[in-house]
Amino acid sequence: MYRLVFSQVLRRLDAEAVHHLTVRALTLLSVLPLVKRLLHKALAPHDPALRVSAFGVHFPGPLGLAAGFDKDAACAEGAAALGFGHVEVGTITAHGQPGNPRPRLFRLVGERAVINRMGFNNAGAAAAARRLRRVRGVPVVVGVNIGKTKVVPESGATADYVASARRLAPLADYLVVNVSSPNTPGLRDLQAVSLLRPLLTAVKEVADGTPRRTPLLVKIAPDLADEDVDAVADLALELGLDGVIATNTTIRHGGETGGLSGRPLKGRSLEVLRRLRARVGDRITLVSVGGVEDVDDVWERLLAGATLVQGYTGWVYGGPLWASTIHRQLSRRVRRHGFTSITEVIGRTAPQARTAPEARTAPEARTAPGAGTAPGATR
């Protein structure tokens, strides 16, 4: 049904117009308590076998909505009612900004991909904080993804991220430092460890200072060289971060200027996940995103060591029931394989972690492969 609506109607409309329509529909859903609750009852994951704990937060299922869809934290409840186990809102910047000129969002239907150069269009941290403060009518895990305001120079980046973190960390179930979007000039340079260390240290101080200690993750690009992936992984361990999200969109493509997401990103995203897992084992949470299209992809990411999986482009092509269907299929698959919990799947096919220099003494480094427990869960 959705395939028909997509091919006959949606794909003929401007991609960003459809995006705004969808956000509006989900925002409306977010303020209709009865419909929201009914949908949540029908579509959200309720199977105890799908529950995952990571960094002390309990997720009803492993598949969440990646950052970039709900940039202004307007419709997380609506997305949760459609079956996502968590919603990562943002990227939110300290100051509101319009983003890049339109057109800035392009579908590559034949490749099941999207190119975007949105440029962090959002109303800013203060507006997002007001929205996040609203009472939640259905249970929803909300991650908050923060980035640098475009007009702020690199020298002011840390202060800019800290300003967002101060406003948003107390309202987030977890906080993400995004240094990997390709559409803010210079942003990805912040992935260099020499710049990333002071940035993450300062944001972590803010996140650690909230009443519940907000877990902190960093989101990285698929275009990092392998050694740089290792370097960020080692830094995350050294600083005591809660996790790494891999990956953002890639600029390695021959199309429109912008970041490419969807099916063509699948291979590299999985490769980065495997590399990270080999480096950090289960000492920090890995969140895998990039080219996830169906239950097989989610399963593969879990086996490779991701505790949580996210998708965006797969949902664009898969339709409104995408997340709900995948969670239902995961429930069946867990039982078919003789597991009682999805957490037993995590890292099953991952090789043992190579010990990073900073963490040689950590006892978890010797955990056997396939131990399969979700990391964290200490709060």
Ligand X SMILES: Cc1cc2nc3c(=O)[nH]c(=O)nc-3n(C[C@H](O)[C@H](O)[C@H](O)COP(=O)(O)O)c2cc1C
Q: Which residues are catalytic?
A: 181
Identified binder of ligand X from the candidate list 116, 164, 307, 331, rule CB under 6 A: 116
Q: Is 314 in the site for ligand X (CB under 6 A)?
A: yes
The letter for the amino acid at 43 is L
How many chain residues interact with ligand X (CB under 6 A)? Answer: 28
Torsion 316-317-318-321 (CA) sign = positive
Give the angle subtended at the CA of 34 by the CAs of 33 and 36, to the nearest 5°.
Answer: 65
Q: Which is nearer to ligand X, 178 or 331 (CB)?
A: 178
Residue 24: which region, alpha, beta or left (left: phi > 0; alpha: psi -120 to 50)? alpha
**Residue 30 DSSP SS3:** helix
- Rounded CA separation 158/261 (Å): 27
Strand 259-262 relative to strand 113-116: parallel, antiparallel, unpaired? antiparallel
264 makes contact with ligand X (CB under 6 A): no
248 DSSP 8-state letter: -
CB of 92 to ligand X, least distance (A): 9
Strand locations in 263-350 (E) = 285-289, 308-311
Contact flag: residue 22 with ligand X (CB under 6 A) = no
**Min. distance of Cβ 369 from ligand X in angstroms?**
26
Is 247 part of any known ligand binding site? yes
SS3 259: strand
| Candidate ranges 28-36, 113-121, 234-242, 321-329; the one touching ligand X (CB under 6 A) | 113-121
Contact flag: residue 68 with ligand X (CB under 6 A):
yes
Question: Applying CB under 6 A, which part among 50-58, 287-295, 298-306, 366-374 lies near ligand X?
Answer: 287-295
Q: Is 184 in the site for ligand X (CB under 6 A)?
A: no
Tell me the C-alpha distance between 271 and 275, whole Å: 6
The sign of the dihedral angle between the CA atoms of 167, 160, 195, 248 is: positive
d(CA 376, CA 193): 24
> Rounded to the nearest whole angstrom, what is the least distance from the CB of residue 322 to ligand X in the complex?
11
3-state secondary structure of 222: coil
Nearer Cβ to ligand X (67/206): 67
Least distance in Å: CB of 352 to ligand X?
28
Is 78 annotated as belonging to a binding site? Answer: no
Number of H helices, E strands in the chain: 12, 15
Nearest approach in angstroms of CB 17 to ligand X is 13
Contact flag: residue 146 with ligand X (CB under 6 A): no
Among 149, 191, 313, 343, binds ligand X (CB under 6 A): 313
| CA–CA–CA angle 221, 230, 295 (5° rounding) | 55
Binding region for ligand X (CB under 6 A) out of 53-61, 67-75, 325-333, 346-354: 67-75
- Specify the residue, 36 or 327, whose C-beta has the smaller distance to ligand X: 327
Q: Check whether 314 is labelled as a binding-site residue.
A: no
User: In 48-121, which residue ranges form alpha helices assigned H by DSSP?
Assistant: 76-81
- Residue 202: strand pairing partners: none
Q: How far apart are CA 212 and CA 254, in angstroms?
A: 45
Position among 249, 324, 331, 343 found at the interface with ligand X (CB under 6 A) = 249
Q: How far is the CB of 192 from ligand X (least distance, A)?
A: 18
3-state class (DSSP) for residue 180: coil
Residues 209-228 that bind ligand X (CB under 6 A): 219
Annotated binding residues for substrate, written as ranges, equal: 71, 116-120, 178, 183, 248-249
Annotated binding residues, written as ranges, equal: 67-71, 91, 116-120, 145, 178, 183, 219, 247-249, 262, 291, 312-313
Annotated binding residues for FMN, written as ranges, equal: 67-71, 91, 145, 178, 219, 247, 262, 291, 312-313
Interacting residue ranges for ligand X, rule: CB under 6 A = 66-68, 71, 90-91, 105, 114, 116, 118, 120, 145, 178, 181, 219, 248-249, 261-262, 265, 289-292, 311-314
